[in-house]
Amino acid sequence: MRTLQREAGPDLHIRVSGDLSAGRPVLLVHGMGGDHRTWRATAAMLRRGGRPVVSFDLRGHGHSGRTPNYLLADFAADAQVVVDALNIERADVIGHSLGAHTALRLAMARPELVDHLILEEVPPMARDASDLAEPVVMAATLGERVRGLLALARDPRPILRFDRAMADQVVAQFDNSAPDWWADLARVSAPTLVISGGDRSFLPTRHLQSLADALPDGRLVAIDAGHSVHRDARGEFLSAAAEFLAVPR
């Protein structure tokens, strides 16, 4: 474990597993309210397949620093800081929820950096007024709340360290139409797997299908598990990720 200290921007807590020079690294980006530990099973699978793994706590999460403002662009800028600090020239990237949105913005800004991209339950920006008229309510279902409470009982540290001032700021940014964001999807050169949590998720699969269709090389798979697919359908998630990244299991 290491902490990347910065004069501008919050310090970032980073975990590196494996030799970064021994193969193409995989960058793992967690969702809101979590931290790098959410990826333990995924990281273990990748390491068994011979891939070095990098994970970090987003600003306002885990052991990373807090900040007064939480802009979506800043999360993506932090991810760029991490890969640059580690001298990573090219990586596969996996993100969940807010982390998936962060990973996608990273692939837009630095397409030469991202080789393959996996976006689990990625919230897209609204395209226009019609999208805004059909708001996505970011609220867990009853089953997800129960599974979340069980996860919290097993390890309460992520939610205890989470800056709760972040949630309203992040959600508010999705309440604006962003046609330029959709246009910039054309910049993503990486083959991209979009993973939907199916009908159990608050994110309609059709929205994620629209996102996959808008990407130059996007495809969608639905795993009916709710918003936290990697947690609640671990085996199916790992199988899909390993096949897409060509990681032996």
The verdict on residue 91 lying in a domain is: yes
Mean pLDDT split into 10-residue runs, the chain, 249 residues: 87 96 95 94 97 97 95 97 97 98 98 98 90 64 50 61 91 92 98 96 93 98 96 97 94
Say whether pTM exceeds 0.85: yes
Q: What is the CATH number of the domain that holds 117?
A: 3.40.50.1820
The verdict on residue 249 lying in a domain is: no
Report the distance separating Cα 24 and Cα 20, nearest Å. Answer: 7
Q: What is the pLDDT of residue 156?
A: 61
The verdict on residue 248 lying in a domain is: no
Number of structural domains found in the chain: 1
Q: Is the separation of the CB atoms in 99 and 31 below 8 Å?
A: yes
Q: What range does the domain containing 46 cover?
A: 2-242
Q: What is the pLDDT of residue 43?
A: 98
Instruction: Give the chain's radius of gyration (CA, Å).
Output: 17
Query: What residue type is assigned to position 101 of the chain?
Result: H
